[in-house]
Amino acid sequence: MKVLSKVDKAWLAGFVDGEGYIGIVRQRKKANRQQSDSLVYHPWVIVTNTDTKILEYIQSVVLTQKRASLGFTEGHKIGYQVKITKFGEVIALLEEILPYLKVKSEQAKLLIKYCKTRGGTRIITGRGSRGKTSFGTLEEKIYQKLRVLNKRGI
C-alpha cells in the first residue's frame, strides 16, 4: 500500500464508510478425496461505485496488483467494485483508515483481529505450507458479530 496523507486516509475512510463493505464471507467447501467438507471464512473489504476513476485511484493506492469486478442490475447504472481479500492488504488498509472511520470502525477492528489471528498461523503438511486449515469458534464468533453489525434495515 502506498503512503497516504491524512487527507487521503480521511477521504478513503469516508468512502469506505459510505460506499463500502467490511466483513467476512463464509463458504462451505465441498468434500473431496483429500478432505472432508468444511466451512471457510474469507475477509472482504469492498468499495462499490459507478465512477471508475475513483475506484482506479483506490486500486492504485491500496492493492498490490490490480483486480476489479463489475456487475449491474436491470435499470441501474453499471456498478464497479474494488475487492480487497488478501490478509496483508486488508490489515494495511484498515489500520491506516481506522482512526477516521465513523460508521464501520467496529467492523474494521473485528476484521483486523480476524486477519491477524488467521494470517500468522502456518502448519506444514506433506505438500508444504498451507496455512491454518481448521476454523474454530473464534472465526465463527467474529463472523456472527460482523453479520449483526452489517445487517441492513430494521
pLDDT mean over 81-92: 90
pLDDT band at residue 124 under the 50/70/90 scheme: very low
Mean pLDDT for the chain overall: 81
Q: Is residue 42 part of a domain?
A: yes
Q: Is residue 47 part of a domain?
A: yes
Q: Is residue 24 part of a domain?
A: yes
CB 112 within 8 A of CB 140: no
- Give the CATH number, domain containing residue 51: 3.10.28.10
Q: Is residue 87 part of a domain?
A: yes
- Decide: residue 79, CB within 10 A, 0-12 exposed, 13-18 middle, 19+ buried: middle
CA distance 44 to 69: 14
Instruction: Look up cell 472511520; give the residue.
Output: 101
Q: Is residue 93 part of a domain?
A: yes
Instruction: Look up cell 469486478; give the residue.
Output: 69
Range of the domain at 68: 6-150
Strand arrangement, sheet containing 69-71: 20-29, 38-49, 79-84, 69-71
Q: Is residue 1 part of a domain?
A: no
What's the structural domain count of the chain? 1
pTM of this structure: 0.79
- Does the structure show a pLDDT above 90 at 71? no
Q: Is residue 111 part of a domain?
A: yes
pLDDT band at residue 118 under the 50/70/90 scheme: confident
